[in-house]
Structure 1
């Protein structure tokens, strides 16, 4: 671990990764391969740059997202004069087709927007909501015991009211310039004509074949002729094309009312073995919420993102606010003490996350107190030592309420996707979008998968007589770790970043910010840099990289370590004299600009 230059070069030159990610050690459902799936010369050049460790450079606009076909669709919109909001719609529509296990019309999203005209920062909450008839014991058996995770996930019980379609329309109405129907053209054409199955999707289908086979529509699409489609198989989705046509013609109303809404509810309520309680009224009353961004300071920058129900901006802000009290630039990425500080700062942040963070429309969340520099400086005092913390306990931020919350250990699993865009007008967009676990609930309706987002709630309402902030309630939005982030310097954006990855998202984003701001790495180097994460007491070191050479040093400090595959999916753009785009080499996404 003394030679991180060698580490980085070794990592960047690997042509393909077969890696996995999970937010709890006992689950490993997502197996992913990067593969090469680009179809245009520009996209192939971007793939080559990524694998060689070079950022993509541009002057006018840049997109970084999780699949070349989706990036190309967004690029077409920008070339025609559209905004970042317009391009995002086109990107998301295609992602829902070519990367269906990660995000889509049946899921939810968080969006952070910087407006070049006004300098304003806005966040949109398109998170799924719990059905109005959801009960506190939805994820408990008759004896009051929590269900096994996948017993809760697979089927209708886990499906929350999707928010993505409403968010697409809300963003377009606020910041779009292109005609709404034109943003669906590439998605419709690809769904009708078909797309070639890439290595990652093929491996994921194979790894989840048993669960996907439980439902007729899902099995028929993902395993035509009863077999996992091989790489290169052309997969067509005319039902998805028809759904897109209806939304293109009638707007989000086509999704939240009428036949599509009825089919969603019918699919959820009739799911064999595990029906759910979502109703047409839940869809009819769904609303995207505009919320105040959460911004915290770091080295003279403002790190801004999504507040509750996301724990992303708060926990990223806490980690950075704690290590802001130490000179990471002087220590550098090679020093084990750097990773002791980051690891234990992360543990402290996650301890506060588990106790205090949830949907602030339902429970009081001490947002200001959690990122108060004085509070974080006091938390940093615990790290003025040479060894690991024996335990990382929640703190006591400034709080107007006396509720004695219990700690929540709810799982939050992949799959998820991220989109970063800077347009020719100077607007910047960071959006993380998800259906939660890989393939969500495994229920498919009208060509798209439905989420399993309700399993991001705690399965329990109380622990030892104390309430859990993230307990389920009708209309409530489950806590998320999605961390779409825009970094500002003197009010201007300098970095747009985000990642999928379950609860590890927080650390993936934090890594990029530290690597870029403290260690001077460009966005591609920062995205490719090995992952080292400690959330709950075990220090995860990315297997197959030289990060594992840090293991003995960390163990000597008192950390328990484990070598693990970690499929981050970072997509980042830095903004300076030129735009620089980076995409995570662990997945098949690219950055593309002009």
Structure 2
């Protein structure tokens, strides 16, 4: 598949709520460029591109290439991504959907055992069936075709050199390698991280990846076709078809992959316009959460007020009930986006927030909703997020993932393959025979919690961006950070450091040790028994433009960096 072929693929153009744009207006002569990413080496790779005069998309490609090497537990070229792109000259947003798709021979019951029961998670996640057709590279290729300034072949040098010369295993990667995860026992993971004496690498060890360096050289020379045809594509197919539970991916699946351009979904949030990807992303849930919170007095409270955290938890539960029920791939299922965001519907949902937490709330019935079964998708924490602004003021807010730690644990040409097919519901129907909106189907994109968000001023100038890692908890992580930064007016770094609280269904998880005993007691009195859980694994990166200055932050739970481009 040639590079020209990739960009001539028909694009699915979806309507949204940000269709009207201002006439072309030149930005300020020179904006303060920046890169915010989860790893200093990745941030530096992006900054080097900006310093050479590259665009935000150029820098994003360099960041992703480096993340695939130094943060392979979170994202990579074998995975997928959503990019929210802001064009400063037109003040227009474009969503680039690089979500993986199910192979053409995928079946609704592919994650069921012979008795018709869902496979155990650890078995499914390591299977060849778990890998969807990777989309990140094709999506980045399309975005570069439309917004790149530097040549594609010039964007991979930092990652290629680092792969060949080696990098120091970071504390976070070392910690995850020592964890009790099924993927850590996968043969490719064991081989890749094995030292000469047979022991597993730990933080501080030097890790080289010559196979990845060689692939980057071919990717630089051949363009995205290096992933979707030829020797790498053949190895991807072979690796996914290998036991146990081999998948059905073919060379045709890879050759036929199409990134999708979508209209951003936008709504007013406080003094801003918040814009997110539409389904199959969960951006509609993010907007609904903020709209619910606007109907409370959370903004007049603060991080030491138990009522503020209670309101956040209850609004989160209402949002998740709706998101879990209705969001899926809009090419296969009708999604009631407008109904979910209708002010009258949000008013009615907000009135369900009472004085104390009750049983898990049920999904509502927004206008346009179909009768679908309660969702049973098991979505794990993972993923990475980064933000780039170039000197012209163009911005990329991008969330990228291979799903769980090291994806399926299967490696090709120095990068891990995703396990995104496990983001589908394992069961296609419920006991009553009602279909799951997020069931597997050939060519379908699984629902995603990835929500790269961009904030605009009322006249559609760039005002900020935010996004996170964390599986289904992404919405809670981003929501908490927005409340802390916008409503409580905390500096971005301090906002991201606020404790995480993830309230979904009957569960209240979070960073128990970061809340005071008094706060935990007060929440308990309101029906919220906070327990440790997924709430520790956020990876939020955010920025607000305050009085013309860049207020950027990285999640202190990870190893991020905020780099500013010299004016």
The normalised TM-score by structure 1 is 0.87
Match of 2:302 among 320, 332, 336: 332
Counterparts in 2 of 1:548 and 1:443: CA distance versus 1, 3 Å: farther
| 1:357 Cα deviation after fit | 0.6
State the distance in 1 between where 2:505 and 2:217 align. Answer: 45
Q: Does 1:214 align with 2:214?
A: no
State the distance in 2 between where 1:261 and 1:549 align. Answer: 56
Residues 164-313 of structure 1 mapped to structure 2, 5 A cutoff = 164-207=136-179, 211-215=183-187, 217-225=188-196, 226-270=198-242, 272-311=243-282, 313=283
Counterparts in 2 of 1:549 and 1:427: CA distance versus 1, 3 Å: farther
State the distance in 2 between where 1:580 and 1:303 align. Answer: 17
Q: Does 1:355 align with 2:319?
A: no
1:448 is matched with which residue?
415
SS in structure 2 of the partner of residue 112 of structure 1: strand
Q: Is contact 1:344–1:392 with CA below 8 Å preserved after alignment? A: no
SS in structure 1 of the partner of residue 351 of structure 2: helix
2:538 is matched with which residue?
568
| 1:548 Cα deviation after fit | 5.4
State the distance in 2 between where 1:545 and 1:341 align. Answer: 18
SS in structure 2 of the partner of residue 462 of structure 1: coil
State the distance in 1 between where 2:504 and 2:517 align. Answer: 17
SS in structure 2 of the partner of residue 560 of structure 1: coil
Match of 1:586 among 532, 557, 562: 557
SS in structure 2 of the partner of residue 344 of structure 1: helix
Q: Is contact 1:488–1:494 with CA below 8 Å preserved after alignment? A: yes
Q: Specify every segment of 5 or more residues in structure 1 that has no aligned partner in the other structure, as ranges.
A: 1-57
1:530 is matched with which residue?
499
Match of 2:443 among 475, 482, 492: 475
Residues 371-450 of structure 1 mapped to structure 2, 5 A cutoff = 371-383=341-353, 385-399=354-368, 403-450=370-417
State the distance in 1 between where 2:465 and 2:286 align. Answer: 14
SS in structure 1 of the partner of residue 530 of structure 2: strand
Counterparts in 2 of 1:438 and 1:559: CA distance versus 1, 3 Å: same
Aligned length: 531
- Segments of 4+ moved more than 3 angstroms: 208-214
Residues 120-139 of structure 1 mapped to structure 2, 5 A cutoff = 120-139=92-111
State the distance in 1 between where 2:563 and 2:386 align. Answer: 12
| 1:427 Cα deviation after fit | 1.0
The normalised TM-score by structure 2 is 0.91
Q: Does 1:466 align with 2:428?
A: no
Q: CA RMSD in A?
A: 1.5
Q: Is contact 1:542–1:548 with CA below 8 Å preserved after alignment? A: no
Q: Is contact 2:376–2:426 with CA below 8 Å preserved after alignment? A: no
1:22 is matched with which residue?
none
Residues 432-465 of structure 1: per-residue CA shift (max 9 Å, x gap): 0000011110000110000000000000111122
| 1:91 Cα deviation after fit | 0.4
Q: Does 1:367 align with 2:337?
A: yes
Q: Is contact 1:460–1:468 with CA below 8 Å preserved after alignment? A: yes
SS in structure 2 of the partner of residue 224 of structure 1: coil
Q: Is contact 1:157–1:275 with CA below 8 Å preserved after alignment? A: yes
| 1:310 Cα deviation after fit | 0.9
Q: Does 1:150 align with 2:122?
A: yes
Q: Is contact 1:541–1:548 with CA below 8 Å preserved after alignment? A: no
State the distance in 2 between where 1:456 and 1:200 align. Answer: 24
Counterparts in 2 of 1:573 and 1:406: CA distance versus 1, 3 Å: same
Counterparts in 2 of 1:132 and 1:519: CA distance versus 1, 3 Å: same
Residues 144-186 of structure 1: per-residue CA shift (max 9 Å, x gap): 0000111101131101000011011111111110111110000
State the distance in 2 between where 1:175 and 1:443 align. Answer: 33
| 1:538 Cα deviation after fit | 2.0
Q: Does 1:509 align with 2:478?
A: yes
State the distance in 1 between where 2:302 and 2:513 align. Answer: 22
State the distance in 1 between where 2:483 and 2:448 align. Answer: 22
Q: Is contact 2:381–2:537 with CA below 8 Å preserved after alignment? A: no
Match of 1:345 among 303, 315, 321: 315
Residues 546-561 of structure 1 mapped to structure 2, 5 A cutoff = 546=515, 549-561=518-530
State the distance in 2 between where 1:543 and 1:335 align. Answer: 16
SS in structure 2 of the partner of residue 382 of structure 1: coil
| 1:579 Cα deviation after fit | 1.3
| 1:410 Cα deviation after fit | 0.7
1:27 is matched with which residue?
none
1:33 is matched with which residue?
none
Q: Is contact 1:516–1:523 with CA below 8 Å preserved after alignment? A: yes
Residues 326-374 of structure 1: per-residue CA shift (max 9 Å, x gap): 2222222222221221111111111111111100011000111111122
Counterparts in 2 of 1:548 and 1:152: CA distance versus 1, 3 Å: farther
Residues 45-64 of structure 1 mapped to structure 2, 5 A cutoff = 60-64=32-36
| 1:522 Cα deviation after fit | 1.5
| 1:208 Cα deviation after fit | 5.1
State the distance in 1 between where 2:91 and 2:399 align. Answer: 22
Counterparts in 2 of 1:213 and 1:79: CA distance versus 1, 3 Å: same
State the distance in 1 between where 2:241 and 2:51 align. Answer: 43
Residues 478-489 of structure 1 mapped to structure 2, 5 A cutoff = 478-489=446-457
2:52 is matched with which residue?
80
